[in-house]
Chains A and B, each alone.
Chain A
């Protein structure tokens, strides 16, 4: 089981937080802080696994993380998950984000936190890996996005025959990024 998925940037600012096991709000923040503390002091040339800290359930748990440019993707899992398997799952997830957002960057995650959540929901459901096939994930997200674009009720056709990449109409969004990157 995956217990939590945390995405934060190099300064520890949370970008996406998803717990699959209940923790109280302040405990969640503490876990984020501790995880950031553990992960951030590690070089890029060390292994991607960390034995769990004391907060999220002790020695049975481990943190599996990847560091991409400005973001850390951390999966907290128990012993029933394969370490390398999860590591590649993170890769799949990030590649999917990349396709959905076209060269995904931190700002996409900030402004489209909800959309990132929807994509994640197609990968991991209730702590269990639902889908590992990127095309399939994108196809599912597509279905929902079409809906968004037209805002009319669609009917679901065979999911696998969808065009691979649907381009989000995000030009307006990236516009706002300018003012942010200056900050």
Chain B
């Protein structure tokens, strides 16, 4: 501050003299800003500041909009506005004036204008479009400063859609004679590449030219681009390795002009950039790595430790050496450098040293061992960042022997750390370690308790999920399970007896679940006691309504334990009139079930949860209810995407009468809501509104799917078990002193670093921390290693049996008939959407109901069947390949002659009666789809009077021969053909059919079946010209837009993506121009659908139009799926 005073004192005389000089433009401009600043400094409160700035802004506003304001004044006003904006006061009114200033001012005014624009606006701001012309003009200016300014603003932000307009001009600048212009142009192009990679695809060779530019500055600018390109796709740039090595060689050897030296280090930033590029190129590629060994060695040697910036180079070198294909000589040197970093007194270097150690520890655990004393010291470092980094390192080297110490260190850190972000991160790590390496139950439960209480509500939801999952699934040993659960129950009862109001909500929810499930394990505790504890919890004000739901669920479970009914009744009474629907639902359940022990026993069976459970995800048990409701006049169910569409259609009528495509409407309404029809239909498939509601609201509740599995592969379990039996690991609880930890530890004697005697304590800490590192140095020690033995393991189960394990969770275990009453719907929907689970249930269903396919509403649930369909589709091109099943192959021979050459789907069984097997497939003819029903007799006698009827609401079904099949010979086969045409499109068409035939005693036997055909089977390419397309496009009124994933890894993403669509869905690609493509298809000649595809922001923006209302939506669904699967 003293120099400020000094400076101002010396300036004092001139101030006085200048005051008397009116008309000095400079002073007057500055004095206005000056008085503003002075005004602000005088203020004492934020409130006053606000008032002052608002006053200032309104005066600015007045002036900028006045026609008399000159550009010069405008420039000054703009600077003041920038100042106000910096302080956080928006001045939206000035944006347009900033653009005007950039447009109309002279160079200096323009400069302020551009600066203001780049500070005020962002890439997607609509006003930015007004700047395009100005930029265009300035790019063509002969004044280099204007060109520079234009390039600068372009690289700061430019509307993505307008890039093509200025691209040629910017490209041209790559050949400019001034290096600064070339350099800025390169960076501007890089920026374009970042925001719209496809736009600059064609100028990749220009980048190469920039790399070879004679000016090193331009070359180093082009490295930005190459770093990015190589990161995305190292393979295509391997040929440049030698060039990069040569450049680096020249730089290191000091061949660049002296100008590029920084503290006598030649172009250090350039070196850093090159080293990064090399490490990307050499990663797991021996031959490429070999090219760079020499220069890396040279770099290490040249970078003498004399200045901060050389450390930066060394650090990059080390990282590079450890990333590329290893060479022992270099590794040794690099290890030494890391050592120097870690041991350095300069704290920044220590930090980087630790970071480097963390980076390499999985390759070279010995290195961590070498520096163990330093690491221990860092644990007690006054700088939290260093501590944090050390913990990260320890996390990487955790194994089952040092876990208690490391976790304790982490928990220590968390108790002093106040920052949410770090806490959330660390809590997750502790939970991961605890699950993986916990030495005993007690420790595990206590550690998890700490995790829950410290983590509070910043806790990631998957932590309690996997904890509860672990408790409910258990391990190999039933006895051990019981002990763990019992311990948890004990611990939670005592917690609730303490001060539960201080516990975070997530923790309380977990506690409730455990108590509800397992408190019966503790025989000396009356359920009444637990109930009273829960009631106490319920009455705490801070308990959230979500937690209350959990409490009520726990109570429901407890009531079956023969607890007195008064408490639950009272509670359910209170909450059955709650405003919260979830809570009310729970209260109803509690009331109902507690009064009905029989139902209770069925719904919540206790202790028998080992049986795999079937979930009827199609909710077929509701069919009766639904048909009754329909009969009573209820409206039929519509899947959400259909409702959505109807909604948007009505919206389109009122808002966009001419169906004009505005990009805004496209992104705002349709896309966001329609990302995935699949997802929507799953939630809707569950049941009515209530489910939907809770599904949305349930995002914070426990989710059991998608939880990371951190336990080892089963393969190691048996081995591990025997080891454990013979030599149980003794691990003290974290509360015991550390000193006991390391005794008799092998690695202690192996420690290579000499340790002074006075540091006894640290030594012991070290030995307990680094135990196991030396012995298994060859083993991967990363936290994710599967090879390390783990205490908690999953049960050994055969893969099929392991699916239902998640359903064992008694929360969702009720039999399906009453299930919906008790289902925690959010959880169950999650469960159902987990692929394993649905796979299982769909298989079950297929068997149970004798249906081939599931009803449409359960799209996601039928993964397995969907896959089969696809294979059937794929078989379309080569019809006879897919016939692996003997049954099929014998039926294929019965294909009618006129159809045998056409692609047909896989033959699937429809239904079976005692004497007759029905199978079907569909054959794609050019203009229609033919459904073939194979009737195969399996009886020893002839069957008479077979009649098959097939109907479908959305399809027109016409039978080739209407008369019943008179007779089917014993073990013979008869084929019926049906022509199918689409009446109204749907994602899937479900055909229902009935077959009747006479059995020998002359009575009629009837069997029902259903068959499902995807819309794709009906799709045919529609061949037309671009002009025809254009006329049709305008004529169609029903449209849908959505962004679909683009196949980015292909060379030409658009072409590749369209090809996939073409192959899978039989579309016709009319034309591809630049980043747009038009595609057409039809169901019948009069049912076309046109697609307009455009590459936009790394996505494929698809716009479908058709005269048929439902068609675009249904087709979109299939497009989406086709792309997801490819």
Contact = CB atoms under 8 A, between A and B. Distances in A.
A153 B11 contact: no
A59 B425 CA distance: 9
Give the residue among B7, B224, B315, B316 with the most A Cβ atoms within 10 A.
B7
Contacts of B4: 70, 105-107, 177, 181
Contacts of B696: none
A88 to B, nearest CB: 5
Nearest to B15: A175
Q: Name which of B112, B123, B156 has the most chain A CB atoms within 10 A of its CB.
A: B156
Interface in B726-748: none
Contact of B14 (A59, A111, A113, A171): A171
Interface in A97-111: 103, 105-107, 110-111
Interface in B302-322: 308-309, 311-312, 315-316
A180 B8 contact: yes
B203 interface: no
Contact of B15 (A106, A128, A176): A176
B86 A113 contact: yes
A117 B155 CA distance: 15
Contact of B262 (A51, A88, A148): A88
Given A130-B187, A174-B11, A181-B4, A48 B348 contact: yes
B386 A47 contact: yes
Select the residue from A26, A29, A118, A181 with max chain B CB neighbours within 10 A: A181
B27 A147 contact: no
A156 B178 contact: yes
A27 to B, nearest CB: 10
A94 interface: no
A105 to B, nearest CB: 5
Contacts of A114: 79, 82, 112, 115
Contacts of B180: 140, 159
B11 A82 contact: no
A54 B269 contact: no
Interface residues of A, number: 83
A49 B79 contact: no
Contact of B9 (A22, A83, A106, A178): A178
A121 B190 CA distance: 16
A46 B347 contact: yes
Contacts of A180: 8, 37-38, 41
Given A14-B87, A147-B107, A153-B143, A22 B123 contact: yes
B308 A88 contact: yes
Contact of A47 (B14, B309, B351): B351
Contacts of A147: 107-108, 145
Given A18-B119, A48-B348, A114-B115, A126 B155 contact: yes
Interface string B112-154: 1001000100111000000000000000000111001000100
B262 A132 contact: yes
B315 A178 contact: no
B14 A175 contact: yes
Interface stretch (B205-213, B414-422, B490-498): B414-422
Given A118-B111, A128-B155, A153-B143, A135 B385 contact: no
A125 B86 contact: no
Nearest to B116: A114
B539 interface: no
B717 to A, nearest CB: 33
Given A46-B385, A85-B312, A129-B269, 19 more contacts: A22-B122, A29-B88, A47-B383, A51-B421, A83-B312, A84-B352, A87-B308, A111-B33, A114-B112, A147-B107, A151-B106, A155-B144, A156-B144, A172-B14, A172-B18, A172-B27, A178-B12, A181-B4, A183-B41
Interface of A: 14, 16-18, 20, 22, 25-26, 28-29, 32, 38, 42-43, 45-54, 58-59, 69-70, 80, 82-85, 87-89, 92, 103, 105-107, 110-111, 113-114, 117-118, 121, 125-126, 128-133, 135-136, 140, 143-144, 147-148, 151, 153-156, 159-160, 169, 171-181, 183
Interface of B: 1, 3-5, 7-12, 14-16, 18, 24, 26-27, 30-31, 33-34, 37-38, 41-42, 79, 82-83, 85-88, 90, 106-108, 111-112, 115, 119, 122-124, 143-145, 148, 152, 155-157, 178, 180, 183-184, 187-188, 190-191, 217, 221, 224, 227, 259-260, 262, 268-269, 272, 276, 308-309, 311-312, 315-316, 347-348, 350-352, 382-383, 385-386, 388, 419-422, 425
5 contacts: A45-B347, A84-B308, A144-B145, A147-B107, A175-B12
CB-CB nearest 5 A-B residue pairs = A175-B15, A84-B312, A126-B155, A174-B11, A22-B122
